[in-house]
Amino acid sequence: MKQILVVLAIYLGVLLAIGVYYSRKSKNMNDYLLAGRSLKLGVAVLTLTATLFGGGMLTGTIEYAYLSGPMIFFYMVSSVVGVCGLGLLIKRMADFSSYTTVTEYLEKRYNSPFLRLACSLLTMIALIGILGSQVSAVVGALGALGMKNTVLGAVIAMAIIIALTTLGGLWAVTMTDCFQILLVIFGVFWVMFAALGAHGGYGNMIAQLEAVSTSLPKDYTTVINGDKSISLLWALLPMIMYYWIGQDVYQRLFACKTEQIAQKTAYISGVLLALLGIPPVIIGMVARLDFPELATSGNTASAFASVAIKYLPGFAVGIVLAAIFAAILSTADSILTAATSHFMNDIWVRYVDKNSDPESKKLLRVSRIVSLLMGVSAVLVSLYIPEVITLQIYAYTLYTAGAFVPIVLGVMWKKTTKEGAIAGLLVGAALAAAGLTGFQIGAIPGELFSAVIAAAVTVVVSLAGPGKQTV
């Protein structure tokens, strides 16, 4: 245990050191929020991949594979479709390289400050809740180690993330993301190869699972599993929707040196996500073979740590568990910078300090203060009012259902009008709210159903109304 904690402490210390070092590169708000729009291809690919391959994608995929088999690989397929589709989307977005937030596009596209403000407020509320949920993920990871004071450990980890983000902004977040995703790649592939080697390879591992098939769900070892696969695909479609509107995703692309680099970043990140989807699936299935008792104990969250501890030496376990933290925290810092960018760009300089100089130190100081306050708020929400997290996630759902159609249809269909976009936003959000109260159409996710109806309303209003598209 001591070796593991030492490795984790070194890992967190490295993150903080990177934040302090790169704080010197943030000389104004543009540097702080967009890394000076200077990201090259390699760095952009790594930071975007780190943002998308979070703790939920890593540990969640392992848990799902443990319970249901390799069918969860569809999760990564949806990621590939979403991210690569984003590359095609931004190619059609006018003046892409001039934006700081994706909601800024809404105002310029439709000449509607209302659309921009409404989506920004929903997004900030949702992002704070999602950031708070990362604290819970850290608590779970520490609990898997057998640590008693998991809350204190989680607070320390999040404090370091808040500190490096507050100090260095997107520069620090980007460089720590690069370090963390490389650590994740190294860690998950190390565990996968060590576990497979102990079982004689993938084929032998599958044969061993089939030998105990009576204790497993039906068709456990098959990738395509009938109705379950269809249900999973339905559930994953909203994730594709989010990739096309999420500020934490767009922020990396807005920060790229050129629009062409942004497009290539999306495509390459999609391919990298597909490759990263393989180890979690296999690790989850190995855990099911080696630790069947986790299924009955309800402790499937410890599957990754259990496999790592069994097949790797102590110091190596520390590295792998640091990889778990890296997956979680690389998403956390991305969410924090995304929330800050919405507040500064869509609210502060639009309504509070309209005449501010973008190059001023004042805006940089305000940006840092906002990052600090949002980070602290997220930690407090998760620690003292855990049920609020659910409400925040609901707001996130409302944002997805409401903003998807105005953004995507605005890019893809030039006849979309302001009136149509507002109608689509309101209808989509209202239907999503109804879905959160229990209203549902079969197995169709609320976000998807809401988006389809919202799109129909947007098209009808755009064609029938007097409004004209503005771009």
In a domain, 245, yes or no: yes
Residue 401 per-residue DSSP state: H
Report pLDDT for 72: 76
- Which range has the worst mean pLDDT, 97-111, 149-163, 375-389, 448-462? 375-389
Report pLDDT for 6: 80
Contacts of 430 (CB under 8 A, 6+ apart): none
Residue scoring higher pLDDT (282 or 233):
282
In DSSP terms, which residues pair with 256 in a beta bridge? 39
- Which range has the worst mean pLDDT, 117-126, 280-289, 311-320, 362-371? 311-320
In a domain, 423, yes or no: no
Report pLDDT for 228: 60
Name residue, tokens 């991210």: 83
Whether 413 has a pLDDT exceeding 70, the answer reads: yes
Rounded to whole angstroms, the Cα distance separating 436 from 452 reads 17
Rounded to whole angstroms, the Cα distance separating 259 from 421 reads 26
> Mean pLDDT, the chain, as a whole number?
83
Name residue, tokens 């640590």: 147
Closest to 118 in 3D by CA, of 401, 338, 403: 403
Tell me the pLDDT band of 225, cut-offs 50, 70 and 90.
low
Decide: helix, strand or coil at residue 441.
Answer: strand
Averaged pLDDT, 342-362: 87
Given a contact cutoff of 8 angstroms between Cβ atoms, the answer to whether 48 and 40 are in contact is no
Residue 444 per-residue DSSP state: B
Residue scoring higher pLDDT (221 or 252):
252
Tell me the pLDDT band of 299, cut-offs 50, 70 and 90.
confident
Rounded to whole angstroms, the Cα distance separating 280 from 466 reads 52
Tell me the pLDDT band of 393, cut-offs 50, 70 and 90.
low
User: What is the percent of the chain with per-residue pLDDT over 70, rounded to a whole number?
Assistant: 86
What's the length of the chain? Answer: 471
In a domain, 87, yes or no: yes
In DSSP terms, which residues pair with 39 in a beta bridge? 256
Rounded to whole angstroms, the Cα distance separating 171 from 182 reads 17
In a domain, 104, yes or no: yes
- Give the chain's domain count: 1
Whether 395 has a pLDDT exceeding 70, the answer reads: no
pTM (2 d.p.): 0.87
In a domain, 393, yes or no: no
Q: What angle do CA 26, 129, 394 make, to 5 degrees?
A: 135
Closest to 215 in 3D by CA, of 62, 67, 93, 51: 67
In a domain, 56, yes or no: yes
Question: SS in 3 state form for 172-239?
Answer: HHHHHHHHHHHHHHHHHHHHHHHHHHHCCCHHHHHHHHHHCHHHCCCCCCCCCCHHHHHHHHHHHHHH
Tell me the pLDDT band of 243, cut-offs 50, 70 and 90.
confident
Tell me the pLDDT band of 1, cut-offs 50, 70 and 90.
low
In a domain, 458, yes or no: no
Q: Is the CA virtual torsion 136, 342, 106, 52 positive or negative?
A: negative
Structural domain containing residue 306: 2-386
Rounded to whole angstroms, the Cα distance separating 317 from 307 reads 10
Rounded to whole angstroms, the Cα distance separating 26 from 266 reads 25
In a domain, 408, yes or no: no
Tell me the pLDDT band of 231, cut-offs 50, 70 and 90.
low
Residue scoring higher pLDDT (446 or 370):
370
Half-sphere exposure of 413 (CA within 13 A, CB side): 19
Half-sphere exposure of 115 (CA within 13 A, CB side): 28
Residue 273 per-residue DSSP state: H
Report pLDDT for 260: 93
Averaged pLDDT, 260-289: 92
Report pLDDT for 390: 56
Whether 18 has a pLDDT exceeding 90, the answer reads: no
Given a contact cutoff of 8 angstroms between Cβ atoms, the answer to whether 122 and 297 are in contact is no
- Environment class of residue 196 by beta-carbon count within 10 Å: exposed (0-12), middle (13-18) or buried (19+)? buried
Contacts of 97 (CB under 8 A, 6+ apart): 37, 254, 256, 258, 259, 262
CATH number reported for the structural domain that contains residue 33 in this entry: 1.20.1730.10
The CA-atom distances, in angstroms, between 260 and each of 15, 257, 307 are 30, 9, 41
Residue 348 identity (one-letter amino acid)? W
Given a contact cutoff of 8 angstroms between Cβ atoms, the answer to whether 204 and 195 are in contact is no
Closest to 310 in 3D by CA, of 334, 291, 335, 282: 291
